[in-house]
Structures are given as structure tokens and as C-alpha cells.
A and B are shown apart, each in its own frame.
Chain A
Amino acid sequence: MDHKFAIETHQMTKVYGSGNTEVIAMHDATMNVERGEVVALLGPSGAGKSTFLTAIGLINPPTSGQIFIGGQLILDGPQSHTNLRTFRKQHIGFVFQKANLIPFLTAIENVQVALEINGNSPRAARKEALALMDYLGVADRANGLPNTLSGGQQQRVAVARALANKPSVILADEPTAALDGHRGRQVMELFAQVAHERGAGVVVVTHDHRALDVFDTIYEMEDGAMGPKKRQSDLMPSH
């Protein structure tokens, strides 16, 4: 996947229900995320951010519109052009509001399982998982169960799992909501680091305006509509 854009969406619309119960959760949403670009997606509750994120995460296909990942058409409306689960496994990493770790697996096993799912041997997966946890600064808690880790540590483990298969796309849904400001910023900076060092396109849905300076680009959604792309440089006060 050498295409310039990690993610491209064209006029995505998502409609729930029909007739009198029809709700348009998202309409004509278009976004381009370059490789190595960190994008913040802002908007009030009910604006359609999560709908957009789950659509580009190939979990909740749009009613219409296209999704390209790495230049490859993946979804044309609800019509998929590839095996979505396999594609997700190989190309997309997810981080959620809550760390969403599997409670019966240790921290390292939570990362290891993602690698094993992608065909790595248990030994290679464990080695790679430990390297990732070291990269994210949680290697010392590798054998702890999720409920013994702090919120920040859990979120780092979740990021490690998202990075496990070297995805070209990382999607995060309010990843700092359960963290204090300092730790929240650390996680945002981590996304920026990963995007820049690994060339992944990162989309983060957030309400946390304190760390917006970390992002390269900002989109805002309102009433299901995607606002224009704003570069960080455009937001900086002019001298």
C-alpha cells in the first residue's frame, strides 16, 4: 500500500431505519488522511463521529459512499470488495474510550493475541508484543492482568495492540476520556509519534481540546455533516 492516502472517504451517508423512523446519522462525509498524518475529529455528541469512525473501521458499512484504504476501494456503500474481517486484521488498529482489553489475558497476551490472529507464531508474537510494550513504556507491566493496571497503562497496552500488526490506519474513539489531562496528552502524543514514525494514518475522535496542538489536521462534524479540513498551520495564530 504505497498510495499517498491512508484513508479516503467519498460522500459517505449512513441512514438508520426507514420511513417515519428514518434517522440520517451521517451524510456526504468526505475525508482524506495521508500516511503519517494525525487527524482529530471533533464535534458534539450525536454529531455522527462514532458512526463515521465505525464506517471507516469497516465495522458499520455506510448506506452509500465509498471508502478507500491505501488507495484500494474497500466499501462502496454496503457492498464490500474484500473480506472485511481479514482486512481489518491486517490494516486497521483500534483504540477505544475504555482500553477494552480482554480481561482474562495479561497485558502482553492482549497484544500477543492480535499478532497470533495475524499468523505470527506464539514465540514470535510474544517477542514482538514485548518490543511494542517496551516502545510504549509498559514492558514492566507485561504480565499484569488488565484490572491490575492503571487507566493510562491500560490505554498504552491498547495502543500497543492497535499497533501490533503494523496497520496503515489507526482509529481511536475518545481514547483519553478516562484519563487525566496529563496522561491524556501523553496518549495523544503517542499517536502522533506512531503516525510519524510508522507512517500510519491516525484518526482520533476527541472532545479534549487541550491536546489539539498534537494533531496535524482537524475535522469537525455537526448533525452528521463533515466540516472542512483544517491544517494545524491554519489554526496557529499568525505573527
Chain B
Amino acid sequence: MNLAIKDIQHSLGRFALTALGIGMLLMVVMGMGGIYRGIEKDATLLIDRLGADLWVVQRDTRGPFAEVSRVPANLIHRMLAVPGVKSAREFVYHTVQREHQGKLFRMAILGLSWPEDNGAWLPLTSGRPLGASHYEMIADKSLGLGLGQRVRLGKETYTVVGITTSMMGSSGDGLGFFTVADSQAIQFNTSNEAIRLERAARLARGERSELGTNQPSLLEQAIKPAYELPSTAKPQISAVIVHLSPGADAQRVVEIVSGWRDVTIYTQQGQETLLLRGTVEKVRKQIGLFRVLLTVIAGIVMALILYTLTLDKIHSIALLKLIGAPDRMILGLIMQQALFLGTLGYAVAYILGRKIFPMFPRRVILTNEDLFMLGWIVLGISVASSFLGIWKATQVSPNEAVA
């Protein structure tokens, strides 16, 4: 006869409610692990998806995901001249926070190197890749934009032509894909007043200079739009991503580019490591510690519940001892209930989590490894937390059945 099951059957409602409570607590532990994985995955998602062999960024910076990186757009051509480089593309990445339809709207913007890259590699759930050099965008599903919807960003309006899924920036914001030119237009959008003021300032600087005094006609050039000025560089890009030819020696390419004094080069692995050690490290640690804390709390709560369940049965335990029940039978009663509670709680956590986590604003990723590990932890907690109840049971004298 299994006394644990008999006791559970007798107070099924109470046991179910207890399991639900523990399950919800475990769901939080599970969720914290999922958030941890989500942050990690989101942080490296772009790097993984782009699959570049090398990243060339501004000298002494850690790349566009870690800090501001600015490199000239013509760096692409220098990279293409390096032996072993198959392709080099512009990479523009930044985040905007605007208002759209009366709501706050955050989006990570990625510039695609049109026309070589039209976003055909993206996992589109509907729509199509970019089909024009301007005013089109592909939006991640998490941004809540619909196909054909028009979004005003800066001075221009962009039409959503494709919807993708699970494409997040390192900060967890949904990604929007534009051509590099459009993404720069959004990034460097300047108001008309600011342009007029800049031109006036340019003119004033020219008038004070010897060159302006000697050649006043140059000042007429200074007040033209920036793109018409021959001395003004094109807007800078965040980085250049490089793909190597098959069989090319990556180390050799790195050595060559490392000799250039205006840029720093990273391998894909290096860029990922920088991201994980830098941008998300503190968040990872914080969530990791919080997860440990929650696990300890879950253990304490389970121990107290099992202790209370044991106290409720103390008279029956004394009676069982009185009629000669061996210790293993009584310990089995408590331990089995602990394991039932742990197992049921885990199942509740998993089922509820699967329903609830997708509603979270950031991705919660439940990996098999994490689920398996949490299963072992719950097993450990169940066994450890039953010790308090077992200790109480061993202290009970058969006399208490007579009292």
C-alpha cells in the first residue's frame, strides 16, 4: 500500500493547490533561466545570422553592439583589396525610439547593403525582401507592424514589405531592416532648422578664416547642402562585415588589417565574446544570481510546505510507529510526497510557462539543457526539503498516538 498516494488522494484539492503554488514558483525560476538564455541569444543573434567571418570596426572600439563605432564607407573597397576577402559589406546598426500611432516605439535598425543584400536571407513569415533602394522596410513581428503598414521615421515614410520573426537586436528590441542609405537617413536625420544653423555656422567660420577672406566665392560653396560639398565625407557606417574566400587564411587577413591604424578587426567569435562579456555580462550575472536566489527560496518554501504536511500527519505517523511501521515506510511516505510535489510542480511550471512566456516582451528561451538541469535541481530540492519533515517524523514518539 502506498501511503503517500493514499494521503494525496484523501486531500487532493489541497495537494493540487500546493503543487500549483510550487509550480508557479518553479515557473519563475524556469522563466529567469529562459530570460537569461533569451538575452544571450538576442545578443548574438545578429552576429550569428549575418555569419560574417570578420568584423572591421573603429580603432580601439569594441564594435557597434558594445559602443559607438564609426568607419568610413569606403573601407569596403580597402577590405576588398585584401587577399582572401571574398566580399565586404556595410553594416549600419542603431536603435531608435519614436512615437508611432500614439505609442512609444523602439526599434533596432539594421542597414542592408543594397543591392547586394536585399534581406532574402531573413526568415520571412510574410511579404517579400526589399525591392527598392528607398522607403521600404522589413519588420520583425515583435514590432507589431503589419504588412503594408507605413511608418514615419524622420522626414520619410517607409512601407513594411516583409515580416520576419525572432529577429532581435542585442538590447532585445525588434529589428527593422532598411537599405544602408535609408538607415543612415534615419540615423542622421537633421531638422531643417538645424541644417540652416549649421550652414550659417559654416559661413561664419569661413568668414573668419584667411581662406574665406582671400576667396569669398568659397563661402558660397560652404552654405550648400553637405552632400554637394566635395570635401565632406559620406555619412559613416558602423562597421564593415567581411566574408572570406573558401580556404582563405583568416589569421593572415587579421594580421594585415591589424596593421591599419584607423580600424580594429575581430573574428565572429571575438565579436560574440565581446558582446557576452561586455554588453550583457551584468544582466547575465544579475539574472543568474536572481535565479540562484529564487531556487533557494523555492527550496525553503518546499521544505516548509513538506514540514507542514508532515505536522498534519504527525498523529498518523505516531500511530504507524506504534503499530510497528518501520522507519523506511514513514520516510518513504514523506519522501514520495516531496517527489510527487516536486514533479507535479515542475510539470505545472513547464505547462504554464509554455503558455505564459510567449506573452513576455522579451524572448524567454527554454533550452532542453536548462529544463533538464532544472529537473535535477527540483529533484534535489524535493529530496533536501523533505529532510525537515523526515527529521520531525523521526522525533515523533509512538506515545503521541496514545496521548
Interface residues of A (CB under 8 A from B): 50, 53-54, 57, 59-60, 85-86, 88-90, 94, 96, 100, 102-105, 109, 112-114, 116-118, 122, 125, 145, 161, 173
* Choice from B6, B9, B326 contacting A117 with Cβ under 8 Å: B326
Q: In the complex, are the beta carbons of B322 and A102 less than 8 A apart? A: no
* Choice from A88, A96, A104 contacting B316 with Cβ under 8 Å: A104
* Choice from A50, A88, A105 contacting B323 with Cβ under 8 Å: A88
CB distance from A86 to the nearest CB of B (A): 6
In the docked arrangement, what's the CA distance between A105 and B321, Å? Answer: 16
Q: In the complex, are the beta carbons of A96 and B401 less than 8 A apart? A: yes
Q: In the complex, are the beta carbons of A173 and B319 less than 8 A apart? A: no
CB distance from B239 to the nearest CB of A (A): 68
Interface string of B147-179 (1 = CB under 8 A from A): 000000000000000000000000000000000
Q: In the complex, are the beta carbons of B399 and A85 less than 8 A apart? A: no
CB distance from B308 to the nearest CB of A (A): 16
Secondary structure call for the A interface: helix
Q: In the complex, are the beta carbons of B323 and A161 less than 8 A apart? A: yes
In the docked arrangement, what's the CA distance between A129 and B250, Å? Answer: 81
In the docked arrangement, what's the CA distance between A86 and B330, Å? Answer: 15
Q: State whether the Cβ of B325 lies closer than 8 Å to any Cβ in chain A.
A: yes
In the docked arrangement, what's the CA distance between A179 and B7, Å? Answer: 28
* Choice from B1, B10, B316 contacting A145 with Cβ under 8 Å: B10
Q: Could you list 28 examples of A-B contacts with CB < 8 Å?
A: A53-B402, A54-B399, A54-B402, A59-B322, A59-B397, A59-B402, A60-B399, A85-B321, A86-B324, A88-B323, A89-B323, A89-B324, A94-B323, A94-B401, A96-B402, A100-B319, A102-B316, A104-B6, A104-B7, A104-B10, A104-B316, A105-B1, A117-B325, A117-B326, A118-B324, A122-B1, A125-B1, A145-B10
Secondary structure call for the B interface: helix
Q: State whether the Cβ of B218 lies closer than 8 Å to any Cβ in chain A.
A: no
Q: Give the residues in chain B near A104, CB-CB below 8 Å.
A: 3, 6-7, 9-11, 316
B399's nearest neighbour on chain A, judged by CB, is A59
CB distance from A50 to the nearest CB of B (A): 7
Q: State whether the Cβ of B80 lies closer than 8 Å to any Cβ in chain A.
A: no
Known contacts A54-B402, A96-B401, A122-B1: A114-B323 contact under CB 8 Å: yes
Q: In the complex, are the beta carbons of B319 and A102 less than 8 A apart? A: yes
Known contacts A54-B402, A102-B319, A104-B11: A88-B324 contact under CB 8 Å: yes
The 9 closest A-B pairs by CB, nearest first: A89-B324, A104-B10, A104-B7, A102-B316, A59-B398, A88-B324, A117-B325, A114-B323, A59-B399
CB distance from A129 to the nearest CB of B (A): 11
Considering only residues 345-378 of chain B, those with a C-beta below 8 Å from chain A are none
Max chain B CB contacts within 10 Å: which of A60, A113, A125, A173? A113
Q: Give the residues in chain B near A90, CB-CB below 8 Å.
A: 324
Q: Give the residues in chain A near B321, CB-CB below 8 Å.
A: 85
CB distance from B402 to the nearest CB of A (A): 6
Q: Give the residues in chain A near B3, CB-CB below 8 Å.
A: 104-105, 113
CB distance from A25 to the nearest CB of B (A): 13
B313's nearest neighbour on chain A, judged by CB, is A104
In the docked arrangement, what's the CA distance between A88 and B399, Å? Answer: 13
B322's nearest neighbour on chain A, judged by CB, is A94
Q: Give the residues in chain B near A89, CB-CB below 8 Å.
A: 323-325
Q: Give the residues in chain A near B315, CB-CB below 8 Å.
A: 100
CB distance from A237 to the nearest CB of B (A): 36
In the docked arrangement, what's the CA distance between A100 and B399, Å? Answer: 13
In the docked arrangement, what's the CA distance between A105 and B320, Å? Answer: 12
A113's nearest neighbour on chain B, judged by CB, is B1
In the docked arrangement, what's the CA distance between A117 and B323, Å? Answer: 8
Max chain A CB contacts within 10 Å: which of B3, B319, B326, B402? B402
Q: Give the residues in chain B near A145, CB-CB below 8 Å.
A: 10
In the docked arrangement, what's the CA distance between A197 and B387, Å? Answer: 45
Q: State whether the Cβ of B329 lies closer than 8 Å to any Cβ in chain A.
A: yes
Q: Give the residues in chain A near B401, CB-CB below 8 Å.
A: 94, 96, 100
* Choice from B11, B320, B329, B399 contacting A102 with Cβ under 8 Å: B320
Q: Give the residues in chain B near A118, CB-CB below 8 Å.
A: 324
Q: Give the residues in chain A near B316, CB-CB below 8 Å.
A: 102-104
A97's nearest neighbour on chain B, judged by CB, is B402
Q: In the complex, are the beta carbons of A117 and B402 less than 8 A apart? A: no
B327's nearest neighbour on chain A, judged by CB, is A85
CB distance from B357 to the nearest CB of A (A): 37
Q: In the complex, are the beta carbons of B397 and A85 less than 8 A apart? A: no
Q: Give the residues in chain B near A94, CB-CB below 8 Å.
A: 322-323, 401-402
In the docked arrangement, what's the CA distance between A147 and B1, Å? Answer: 20
Q: In the complex, are the beta carbons of A109 and B10 less than 8 A apart? A: no
CB distance from B12 to the nearest CB of A (A): 11
Considering only residues 372-403 of chain B, those with a C-beta below 8 Å from chain A are 397-399, 401-402
In the docked arrangement, what's the CA distance between A167 and B401, Å? Answer: 19
In the docked arrangement, what's the CA distance between A116 and B329, Å? Answer: 11
Known contacts A50-B402, A60-B399, A89-B324: A117-B329 contact under CB 8 Å: yes
Max chain B CB contacts within 10 Å: which of A85, A112, A116? A85
In the docked arrangement, what's the CA distance between A46 and B82, Å? Answer: 104
Q: Give the residues in chain B near A117, CB-CB below 8 Å.
A: 320, 323-326, 329
CB distance from B309 to the nearest CB of A (A): 11
Q: Give the residues in chain A near B399, CB-CB below 8 Å.
A: 54, 59-60
Q: In the complex, are the beta carbons of A109 and B6 less than 8 A apart? A: yes
A116's nearest neighbour on chain B, judged by CB, is B1
CB distance from A159 to the nearest CB of B (A): 13
Q: Give the residues in chain B near A53, CB-CB below 8 Å.
A: 402
In the docked arrangement, what's the CA distance between A144 and B401, Å? Answer: 22
Considering only residues 1-17 of chain B, those with a C-beta below 8 Å from chain A are 1, 3, 6-7, 9-11
